[in-house]
Amino acid sequence: MVTAEDIGKRVEDDSGRVGILRDVIPDYEDPSELPWRRRKQPIAFLWPEQGGREWLVPPGNVKPSLLSP
């Protein structure tokens, strides 16, 4: 699991995607959900090293990457 101390470091999610941890929000609510369906949940924001679309993953599904930079 990653924490705010890992922000800016290379990490890997459970599906094997590697990226840079941008943020960890413990009480994130998805703004795309209807207001009555929103629920607070911890979320990690990951960004591909070479650019691209950021993706969201529960922090328990992310670990520091063992791959060299």
Backbone angles phi, psi at 12, to 5 degrees: -135, 135
pLDDT number for residue 61: 97
Contact 11, 63 (CB under 8 A): yes
Tokens of residue 35, six digits: 């207001």
Under the banding of pLDDT at 50, 70 and 90, the label for residue 69 is low
Residue 69 domain flag: no
What is the arithmetic mean of pLDDT over 33-49? 96
Residue 48 domain flag: yes
pLDDT mean across residues, the chain: 93
pLDDT number for residue 66: 81
pLDDT number for residue 43: 97
pLDDT number for residue 7: 96
What is the arithmetic mean of pLDDT over 10-37? 96
Contact 22, 10 (CB under 8 A): no
Q: Report the number of distinct structural domains present in the chain.
A: 1
Report the alpha-carbon distance of residue 18 to residue 62 in Å, rounded: 10
